[in-house]
Amino acid sequence: MTQINSPANGKPSKKSGSKNKFILLGVIIIAVIAGLFYWNQHKKAGSEEITIGISPPFAKPLQVAAEEAKKQEIHIKLVEFSDWNTPNITLNHGDIDANYFQHQPFLSNALKETDFKLKPIATGVATHVGLYSKKYDSLAAVPENARVVIPNDPVNQGRALLLLQQAKLITLKDPNNHLSNLQDITSNPKNFKFIEVEG
């Protein structure tokens, strides 16, 4: 699940038809609830706008949420980030009030690697990792020695490897470790060649 996060000091610092509507409704409800909470905090401080950092996959549904919040006189400004590090850095510096872009393993790893003072305040929805190809239309069709691109950051590399394991294409030392990396692959039957890239 993606989370809306805030600074730990309490100041404000995120398939088809019916399923998409359900996900959108969930995002709207969470964003509005978080907005209501922080609106009260900001109102006391004299601020009239809540700034939330987001990533592109959440832009459209959160814009809908922001418009719904505006009807209740809650003013939300969405700031879109194109990478996975800046939203937490910006939030920790206090330049935004909250962010909505990461799941718990990503936040836990960020807190472990930095001195950020962030905490989750609400849970929303997350985008799914997928397997994509321009050449092959099934997992069975992927040949031996195929090149497979995966993210190079610890958490998203872990997500990608867990997905490949779920598809029974590789086996990992710990099948539940969100921080698995290439060295944790114990079985690679098709001898995939992994290429690490920036997220």
pLDDT of residue 194: 97
Residues 23 and 91 in one domain: yes
Helix, strand, or coil (residue 93): helix
Going by the DSSP 8-state scheme, the letter that residue 127 receives in this structure is: P
Q: Indicate the number of domains in the chain.
A: 2
Distance CA(14)–CA(64), nearest Å, equals 13
Specify the CATH number for the domain of residue 156: 3.40.190.10
Report pTM: 0.61
Specify the CATH number for the domain of residue 116: 3.10.105.10
128 belongs to a structural domain: no
pLDDT of residue 149: 95
Residues 97 and 18 in one domain: yes
Going by the DSSP 8-state scheme, the letter that residue 176 receives in this structure is: T
Residues 23 and 119 in one domain: yes
Residues 116 and 145 in one domain: no
134 belongs to a structural domain: no
Residues 63 and 158 in one domain: no
Residues 183 and 113 in one domain: no
pLDDT per 10-residue tile (average), the chain, 199 residues = 58 50 58 59 66 87 87 89 90 92 85 90 74 90 94 88 94 92 96 91
Residues 107 and 180 in one domain: no
Residues 104 and 184 in one domain: no
Of 97, 123, 149, which residue is a domain's last? 123
Helix, strand, or coil (residue 11): coil
pLDDT of residue 171: 97
196: left (phi over 0), alpha (psi -120 to 50) or beta: beta
Residues 10 and 84 in one domain: yes
Q: Are 101 and 55 in contact (CB under 8 A)?
A: yes
152 belongs to a structural domain: yes
Domain span holding position 156: 139-197
Residues 191 and 107 in one domain: no
Residue 106's contacts (CB-CB under 8 Å, 6 or more residues apart) are: 84, 155, 156
pLDDT of residue 71: 87
Residues 47 and 100 in one domain: yes
Of 123, 150, 173, which residue is a domain's last? 123
Q: Which amino acid is at 49?
A: E
Helix ranges, 150-194 (H):
154-166
* Structure tokens belonging to residue 144: 């031996």
Of 123, 151, 166, which residue is a domain's last? 123
* Structure tokens belonging to residue 126: 């997350």
Q: Are 104 and 1 in contact (CB under 8 A)?
A: yes
129 belongs to a structural domain: no
Going by the DSSP 8-state scheme, the letter that residue 150 receives in this structure is: E
What are residue 53's DSSP bridge partners?
79, 99
